[in-house]
A and B are shown apart, each in its own frame.
Chain A
Amino acid sequence: MPNKLFKGELVENRIVIWDIEESKRIFGDGYFGKPLGVPKPKGTDFDAPLILDLIEGYYLVSEKKLAIRDLVSGKAISKKRLVEKCESEYMLFKEKFLVYKELRSRGYIVTPGIKFGSDFAVYEQGPGIDHAPYIIQVMVPQANLTATGIVLAGRLATTVKKKFLIAVVNYSQEDVEFLSFEWWRA
């Protein structure tokens, strides 16, 4: 018997899981999303709808775990329509999604990296459990890195005691390489 899909609604550019039980199950199974108004949830001990970002939403849709409809029209949102939405909301969406999917499939918890000024924060067990995530910036091979960018990366990795990596994504070859930066004390 196929699994019952979770139900989400697209609200502006976020996906909301209104059903509290579903909200807890999605969050509990891999730290997807954030319970509304609960910045640091302890386990699934919360009573709130869950907000997923588009990458998380699209990943769960791709994994056939989630169905999304539009809150305003009430109509189902196709995968194609969802990709279009993602592409309009994210620079390098395809590349970012490839990194996200790759890391999730290897068992990592991947969360938005905005708090660290980057694309993703990656945990082995989960936020609040391991304290030192990997901070990931997604780039394409043809992009340029500035000296300031390098210093910023090194500074970030050192001051927050995290590992900073650039994910170099060659989308046409579905290839992701990770380049790490550490301050060398010499």
Chain B
Amino acid sequence: MEETTDIIQAIESNKGFLIKDKDSRQELKIRGFGEGKKHGLLLRDYEALYLIYSSKLDVIKDDKKLTFNDVLQTALIRDEHAWTKFLIYKDIRTRGYVAKEGFGFGADFRVYDKGNFGSKAAKYIVFAMNEGNEINIKSLTDSVKQISRMGKVPIIAVVERRGEVIYYHLSKSHFRELR
């Protein structure tokens, strides 16, 4: 059997990176990448970066192939947290999870339990915190409550200064009456 190592091609758009080819669109969509749009499959910046990094995607602009750094530059202009998002996205993907854009809890993702993408809703909301930053207790508590109300598991991803990601599961706890 021949392994397909075809590199998928994308073009730059003002919101992300667009894939026109039908087969490629299908292949990526099944694996949890991108969002179907009228003109093709739209990849978020971190998705494109991840695929380029994994040598599965080329972004073509004016007949020229953009480098990873070109794409990163574009991403950073669009979102100052693009690098943090890429680091987390890559880490989650590498661990075998499918991650999609979150709900606005800072830099966040909704993450599907392993093997559940396409059949079940996302189980986790992973939101980022960079080493050196601080998070307000009230807003942290509010996020945890809101995510729990959505029926999802809140996970905080602490991204250390050299890019390693450490995850903590947060939850509201109660001390039941012992007497």
Binding site for B on A (CB under 8 A): 102-103, 106-108, 122, 124, 134, 139-148, 150-151, 153-154, 163, 165-166, 168, 177-186
A-binding residues in B (CB < 8 A): 92, 95, 97, 129-138, 140-141, 144, 155-156, 158, 160, 166-179
In the assembled complex, the Cα of A76 lies from the Cα of B153 at a distance in Å of 53
CA distance in complex: A106, B178 (Å): 6
* B178 CB, min distance to chain A CBs, angstroms: 3
Bound together, the chains give a CA A154 to CA B97 distance in angstroms of 22
Q: Which residues of A contact B168 (CB under 8 A)?
A: 150, 153-154, 181-184
User: Across the interface, which residues of A come within 8 angstroms of B130, CB to CB?
Assistant: 147
Q: Which residue of A lies closest to B130 (CB)?
A: A147
Q: How far is the CA of A11 from the CA of B166 in the complex (A)?
A: 45
Using A166-B137, A183-B167 as known contacts, say yes or no to A147 and B131 having CB atoms under 8 A apart: yes
A142-B137, A183-B167 known, 7 other contacts, Cβ within 8 Å? A107-B177, A141-B136, A148-B131, A150-B168, A168-B141, A179-B170, A180-B170
Distance (Å) between the CB of B96 and the closest chain A CB?
A: 9
Q: Is the CB of B173 within 8 A of A180?
A: yes
Given A178-B175, A179-B141, the answer on whether A154 and B134 have CB atoms closer than 8 Å is: no
Bound Cα distance from A168 to B137, whole angstroms: 8
Q: Which residues does chain B contribute within 8 Å of A103, judged by CB atoms? A: 175
Give the tally of cross-chain contacts (CB within 8 A).
98
In the assembled complex, the Cα of A151 lies from the Cα of B129 at a distance in Å of 11
> A150–B158 contact, CB under 8 A?
yes
CA distance A165 to B134 in the complex (A): 18
Expressed in whole angstroms, the Cα–Cα distance for A180 and B140 within the complex equals: 12
Q: In the complex, which residues of chain A have a beta carbon less than 8 angstroms from the beta carbon of B171?
A: 179-180, 182
Residue in B133, B137, B138, B172 whose Cβ sees the most chain A Cβ within 10 Å: B137
Report Cα–Cα, A134/B175, bound state, in Å. 10
Subset of 13 A-B contacts with CB under 8 Å: A106-B175, A106-B178, A141-B141, A147-B134, A147-B158, A163-B173, A179-B140, A179-B172, A180-B173, A181-B169, A183-B167, A185-B167, A186-B97
In the assembly, what is the distance between CA of A108 and CA of B172, in Å? 18
Whether A182 contacts B169 in the complex (CB less than 8 A), given A106-B179, A124-B178, comes out as yes
